[in-house]
């Protein structure tokens, strides 16, 4: 009987050890939680689970896993990145009176993420500050004044986020692990397109079983297909007179591929600027290809005439169901791509003063 009992004890201990090795675990407590009753856990944009705060505002989260998982602990409006590694229980403590001063123990990777957190908070403060200042500055302004202010604020925004981009890249170079990946995943594709693509290529054969990383790699591949320097995807569509037109027909010229629609107010506001630039540079190798996301031919044609759009206009009249929406990853309009004479992408989404300055530098 003793031998059997000893065998059972040993087997139970081994099973328990194996189970812990295949489990991610985080526990801790939240001081001064206020109205917060639930702690949520997200992987990327997907909510994995949530747990209630128990007595003493304590919580515990466990899940079976065979590899490290990059998650966010969500406490009210605060999100804290953590990396949970099987067999490494993490202790997490935060005070909602001072939410930025959270504490972590038990995970070297999560400790590294905490070192990066001040950079990310600074970036978010800059974003919020600039957006608030822009909203205040544009009150009671005309559309032309708003567009000019937009250019100024966008220039400042890109300049300030360039510093954050470099901080993330440096951090990733120093941390060849999921902590470094997290830093790169926070970059804005509009600001750090080249850095994101280069990093995705670097980790192509790394973290292959991580769902979050796989999503990042897939998005980077899509981003790369439309990156500056790439050949723009072919466009085949029809003019209002039902004449077939291809984007490749315009090779040898600088082409602004302008996605717009008659019902799009910002598009219509931008049209006078494009008209002015078209006439200023059409004899210097510049032209425009208007691609409409209309589905009503009458509205489309009337808008072309009303706005004096003298360049080639095409549409398949499928609106957001058009294949071009997918091919060019159009999420909102106006949207545009400026191409060189070989059909390669030079710049994207230039409007107002930004487009005028770019054309002046390029064509003069």
341-362 per-position pLDDT tens digit: 999 999 999 988 889 999 999 9
Which of 52, 73, 105 is where one domain is finished?
105
344: its two tokens: 């390669």
* Residue 354: Cβ-neighbour burial (10 angstroms; 0-12, 13-18, 19+): middle
Q: Are residues 273 and 345 in the same domain?
A: yes
**DSSP-assigned letters across all residues of 288-313:** EEEEE--S-HHHHHHHHHHTT--SEE
In a domain, 215, yes or no: yes
Q: Are residues 89 and 152 in the same domain?
A: no
H or E element that contains 277: helix 265-281
CATH number at residue 313: 3.40.30.10
What pLDDT score does 150 carry? 74
In a domain, 26, yes or no: yes
What pLDDT score does 237 carry? 96
Q: Are residues 204 and 120 in the same domain?
A: yes
In a domain, 253, yes or no: yes
Q: Are residues 146 and 202 in the same domain?
A: yes
CATH number at residue 76: 2.60.40
Which of 206, 225, 244 is where one domain is finished?
225
- The more confidently predicted of residues 327 and 211 is 327
In a domain, 126, yes or no: yes
Q: Are residues 74 and 120 in the same domain?
A: no
What pLDDT score does 5 carry? 54
Q: Are residues 208 and 251 in the same domain?
A: no
- Residues 196-224: what's their mean pLDDT? 92
- Residues 38-67: what's their mean pLDDT? 91
Alpha-carbon gap, residue 321 to 325, rounded angstroms: 7
Q: Are residues 80 and 16 in the same domain?
A: yes
- Residues 126-137: what's their mean pLDDT? 85
In a domain, 173, yes or no: yes
- Residues 64-71: what's their mean pLDDT? 89
22: its two tokens: 């295949």
Pairing mode of beta strands 236-238, 103-105? unpaired
What pLDDT score does 174 carry? 96
Domain count, the chain: 3
Distance between start and end Cα atoms, the chain: 95
What pLDDT score does 147 carry? 66
Q: Are residues 141 and 218 in the same domain?
A: yes
pLDDT tens track for 151-193: 677 778 888 888 899 999 999 999 999 999 999 999 998 889 9
Q: Are residues 50 and 166 in the same domain?
A: no
Decide: helix, strand or coil at residue 191.
coil
- The more confidently predicted of residues 290 and 146 is 290
pLDDT surpassing 70 at residue 7: no
Which of 105, 139, 164 is where one domain is finished?
105
- The more confidently predicted of residues 340 and 189 is 340
Alpha-carbon gap, residue 348 to 355, rounded angstroms: 10
In a domain, 204, yes or no: yes
Average pLDDT value for the chain: 90
- Residue 326 CB partners (closer than 8 Å, separation 6+): none
For residue 20, name the pLDDT band (cuts at 50, 70, 90): low
- Residues 237-255: what's their mean pLDDT? 97
Pairing mode of beta strands 286-292, 312-314? parallel
Q: With CA atoms as reference, report the closest residue to 102 among 68, 124, 70, 78.
A: 78
Q: Are residues 64 and 136 in the same domain?
A: no
In a domain, 231, yes or no: no
Domain that holds residue 14: 2-105
Q: Are residues 75 and 170 in the same domain?
A: no
Length of the chain (residues): 364
What pLDDT score does 15 carry? 40
13: its two tokens: 């201990």
What pLDDT score does 144 carry? 65
Measured in degrees and rounded to the nearest 5, phi and psi for residue 273 equal -65, -40
- Residues 276-301: what's their mean pLDDT? 96
In a domain, 110, yes or no: no
Measured in degrees and rounded to the nearest 5, phi and psi for residue 278 equal -60, -50
pLDDT tens track for 265-284: 889 989 999 999 999 999 99
For residue 302, name the pLDDT band (cuts at 50, 70, 90): very high
Q: Are residues 244 and 352 in the same domain?
A: yes
- Residues 292-309: what's their mean pLDDT? 96
What pLDDT score does 10 carry? 43
Alpha-carbon gap, residue 72 to 102, rounded angstroms: 13
């Amino acid at each position: 009987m003793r031998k059997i009992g000893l065998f059972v004890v040993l087997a139970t201990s081994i099973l328990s050890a194996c189970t812990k090795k295949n489990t991610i675990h985080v526990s801790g407590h939240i001081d001064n939680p206020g109205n917060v009753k639930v702690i949520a856990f997200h992987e990327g944009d997907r909510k994995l689970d949530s747990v209630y705060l128990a007595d003493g505002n304590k919580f515990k989260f466990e899940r079976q896993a065979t590899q490290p998982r990059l998650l966010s602990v969500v406490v009210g409006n605060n999100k804290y990145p953590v990396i949970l590694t099987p067999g490494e229980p993490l202790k997490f403590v935060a005070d909602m009176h001072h939410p930025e001063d959270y504490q972590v123990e038990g995970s070297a990777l999560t400790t590294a993420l905490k070192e990066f957190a001040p950079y990310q908070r600074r970036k978010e403060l800059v974003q919020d500050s600039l957006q608030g200042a822009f909203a205040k500055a544009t009150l009671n302004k005309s559309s032309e004044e708003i567009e000019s202010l937009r250019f100024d604020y966008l220039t400042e925004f890109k300049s300030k986020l360039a510093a954050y981009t470099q901080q993330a890249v440096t951090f990733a170079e120093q941390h060849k692990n999921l902590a470094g990946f997290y830093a790169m995943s926070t970059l804005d594709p509009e600001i750090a397109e080249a850095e994101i693509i280069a990093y995705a290529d670097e980790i192509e054969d790394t973290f292959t079983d991580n769902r979050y990383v796989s999503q990042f790699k897939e998005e980077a591949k899509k981003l790369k297909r439309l990156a500056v320097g790439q050949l723009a995807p072919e466009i085949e569509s029809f003019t209002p007179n039902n004449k077939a037109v291809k984007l490749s027909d315009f090779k040898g010229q600088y082409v602004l591929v302008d996605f717009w629609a008659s019902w799009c107010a910002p598009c219509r506001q931008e049209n006078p600027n494009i008209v002015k630039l078209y006439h200023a540079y059409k004899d210097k190798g510049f032209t425009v290809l208007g691609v409409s996301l209309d589905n009503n031919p009458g509205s489309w044609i009337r808008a072309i005439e009303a706005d004096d759009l003298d360049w080639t206009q095409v549409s398949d009249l499928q609106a957001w169901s058009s294949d071009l929406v997918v091919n060019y990853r159009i999420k909102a309009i106006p949207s545009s791509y400026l191409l060189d004479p070989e059909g390669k992408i030079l710049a994207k989404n230039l409007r107002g003063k930004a487009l005028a300055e770019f054309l002046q530098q390029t064509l003069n």
